[in-house]
Amino acid sequence: MSNSVQHFTAQKNLIHELFKQDDWLKLCKKEPNYPAVKRYKICEQIIAQEGIIKFPENRNIIPELTSILLDNYIFSKVSDGNPASFSLGNFANYGDAKVRQQIASQLKKTNGFQSLMTELSFGAWFLSKKGFQITATEDEGLADFKIDIYNHPISIAVECKHIDTNTNDTRYQEVIKKANKQIKNWKTHLSTEAIYGIVFIDVSNKFRYINSDFGKLLYSLKELTNKIQSIIRRDCSSVNGVLLICDSFQMSNEPGDTSSTSFCFARSGIFIRHLNPVQPLPDYLAEPFEKQWGYQTGYKVNWKHREFMATN
């Protein structure tokens, strides 16, 4: 078995192991366009091609291959599995029993997979960040995460939201205002005088049709940044900032121009700070959101010309 076939077999197996067997069979039968099912089939396709990516036939799935790699890494990380071999753990290090039940429930929902990935993307990054302890919760009325900072008395409450493709601009205001309330609820829950608040919004689906055109993507995100700054300036003073997340995909050159092509997939963010929050966020705590947060993965493909044999 080639290294490429082994790699995609590991990716396929991890996707399958996320689900109980009966749930998986139902999804495959009733929801063929469910994200996990589509990804599983892509892995099977590449395995059937003996680990070979064919061009131009496979052009449309190349970005998906890189996002599979990133999301499976995240699943390995938060489940306490082995990210190096893409093995899945039991999520014992990620929240309490209620959180783990919610993960299983979200995986069964047609629209739940992307929302779950938004939360796990945030959680996985902070699990590997020294000096921070992250706690996931599914308690009603509270933001999704509480982050405790080593040697600092004030925690950070974080609410995560995934924005769908057809979402209009009023949705952002609804999401941020609700998060503002959920962040304040953490103060009551913890019986504390102060807490910082971050809203984490994934707009990858909103801009997925331009995610390989960095110029257009950056322009659209800057427009959205101005709108969000206006929202938090008015009446969301418990929100210290909004971390706007978007996936992007780039390739070093058009396949065929040279003997190899590098593909890069990034999940990165723009941090929009509230200029006058009720509890100012120190610059050193804003830095992980402003300059550090994000993921990047990719792979290199060596191209080989196909040989055609003429027949009589």
Q: What is the phi/psi pair of residue 174, to 5°?
A: -60, -45
How many residues are present in the chain? 312
Report CA-CA distances (Å) from 291 to 14, 213, 284, 288.
31, 22, 11, 6
> Contact, 43 vs 68, CB < 8 A?
yes
Phi, psi of 300 (to 5 degrees): -115, 135
Per-residue confidence in pLDDT tens, the chain, 312 aa: 568 899 899 999 999 999 989 999 999 999 998 999 999 999 999 999 998 888 888 888 888 888 888 899 899 988 888 888 888 888 877 877 888 888 888 888 877 888 899 999 999 888 878 899 999 998 889 999 999 999 999 999 999 999 887 778 889 999 999 999 999 999 999 999 999 999 999 998 888 777 677 678 888 888 899 999 999 988 899 999 999 998 888 888 877 667 888 888 888 889 999 999 999 999 999 998 998 888 888 888 888 776 655 555
Q: What is the token pair recorded at 214? A: 């960095």
Q: Where are the beta strands (DSSP E) in the chain?
A: 132-136, 145-149, 156-162, 196-202, 241-251, 260-273, 294-302
Dihedral pair phi/psi, residue 165, rounded to 5°:
-60, -45
Query: Strand 145-149's sheet: what is its strand order?
Result: 132-136, 145-149, 156-162, 196-202, 241-251, 260-273, 294-302
CA angle 218, 220, 225 (to 5 degrees): 90
Cα–Cα distance between 211 and 126 in angstroms, integer? 25
Structure tokens that stand for 260 in this block? 């190899």
Q: Please spell the DSSP secondary structure of 114-177, one letter per residue.
A: HHHHHHHHHHHHHHT-TTEEEEE---TTS-SEEEEETT-S--EEEEEEE--TT--THHHHHHHH
What pLDDT is recorded for position 189? 93
Local structure of 187: helix, strand or coil: helix
